[in-house]
Amino acid sequence: MTEQVDEGVESGRAALGRTLRLLREKAGKSLGQLAEDTAYDKSYLYRLETGERLSKQTVMEDLDLYHGSGDLLVRLWKDARKEVVKDKYKAFMELEATARVMWKFQLRVPGLLQTENYARAVLSGLSRAQTTAGNGDEVEEQVALRMGRQELLYRDPAPSVRVILDEGALRRPAPDTRVWMDQLSHLVEAAESPSVVLQVLPYTAGLHDLMNSDLTLIWQRVGEPVAYVEGNGFGALIDDPDKVLAFRLSYDLVRDAALTPGESTAFVKRLLEECRS
């Protein structure tokens, strides 16, 4: 993997790896000694230093604590993870990170509400479909990125998030039953959060305007709302007021046809009980 992006510009991943190496050398530790002290595998730590792996935030938190480096590694990791995102998603993710209100209609469990193991199962499937099977490092980077996005749900103040899940999202379990049960439990927990409203659009609602793609409507503290439409292999950020309004009206119709939040939580709980029985 190259350590530079553009001419003479150090990538975020390279900067993180270099800093990890410098902190280790400053502490007078070999990779083997660091592995013993932290319980992380020596080869894993080596790949972090060389930029072959990006890892996840909890690892950086552990290493920051070990080195007494404040939140230096966490900050460098957050910069580096931005390079994992494809260009077409960057603008959306920047808006998502600062959103005050988000309304989502999803044909699948959204990344913001996925557990780590469920996200790994989903992304591994996508990787196989896109002929990059076996690239575990790429999958792990995407999992770490997805988990990092969920931080916005716990900030103060947290955004107001409404998610309408198509029933089909809840009828396609993960191959591992335990992973799927944990994901359903996580959805129930999310629905009980004061900043998250979860609804289910049942099959009995019939045909509707949002059948072909996922939709996110985003409001910032100031400014006009924007829409993000995403399908299989495409994503489009829309800021034209008339188009955004049309999506808003379609969302309202879907919300009217969905189960109430209470009914939706009960629906997910019933599925969870079916898995347990």
Q: Per-residue pLDDT tens for 213-268?
A: 899 999 999 989 999 999 876 788 999 999 999 999 999 999 999 999 999 999 99
Q: What are the phi and psi torsion angles at 159 (to 5°)?
A: -70, 155
31-38 and 57-67 are packed helices; what angle lies between their axes, rounded to 10 degrees? 100
Residue 190 lies in a domain: yes
Residues 6+ apart with CB under 8 A from 247: 215, 217, 227, 229, 238
Q: Residue 100 pLDDT more than 80?
A: yes
Does 99 lie in the same domain as 43?
no
- State the pLDDT confidence band at 80, using cuts at 50, 70 and 90: confident
Range of the structural domain that residue 65 is part of:
12-83
The angle formed by the CA atoms of residues 61, 90 and 124, to the nearest 5 degrees, is 70
Q: Which residues of 149-161 are buried (b: 16+ CB within 10 A; e: fewer)?
A: bbebeeeeeebeb
CB of 153 closer than 8 Å to CB of 112 = yes
Beta strands in the chain (DSSP E): 101-106, 160-166, 196-201, 214-219, 226-231, 234-238
User: Which ranges constitute the DSSP H helices of 27-176?
Assistant: 31-38, 42-49, 57-67, 72-81, 87-97, 116-129, 136-149, 167-170
The number of distinct structural domains making up the chain is: 2
Tokens coding 60: 């950086």
- Do residues 106 and 55 both lie within one domain? no
Residue 1 lies in a domain: no
271 falls within a domain: yes
Same domain, 72 and 162: no
Is 162 inside any structural domain?
yes
The mean per-residue pLDDT over the stretch 186-201 comes to: 96
User: Residues 181, 254: one domain?
Assistant: yes
Which CATH number goes with the domain that contains 234? Answer: 3.30.870.10
> How far, in Å, are 170, 171, 199 from residue 109 at the CA level?
8, 11, 12
Q: Is 6 left (phi over 0), alpha (psi -120 to 50) or beta?
A: left
pLDDT in tens, 128-185: 544 444 467 778 888 888 888 898 998 889 999 999 999 999 999 999 999 999 999 9
In this structure, is residue 25 part of a structural domain?
Answer: yes
Give domain status of residue 141, yes or no: no
Q: Does residue 128 lie in a domain region?
A: no
DSSP helix/strand/coil, 198: strand
* pTM, 2 dp: 0.72
Do both 207 and 93 map to the same domain? yes
Q: Say if residue 42 is in the same domain as residue 91.
A: no
d(CA 139, CA 151): 19
Please state, rounded to an integer, the average pLDDT across all residues of the chain.
88
Model pLDDT, residue 268: 97
Whether 53 and 153 share a structural domain: no
User: Does the pLDDT at position 271 exceed 60?
Assistant: yes
Looking up residue 32, the CATH number of its domain turns out to be 1.10.260.40
Is residue 130 included in any domain, yes or no?
A: no
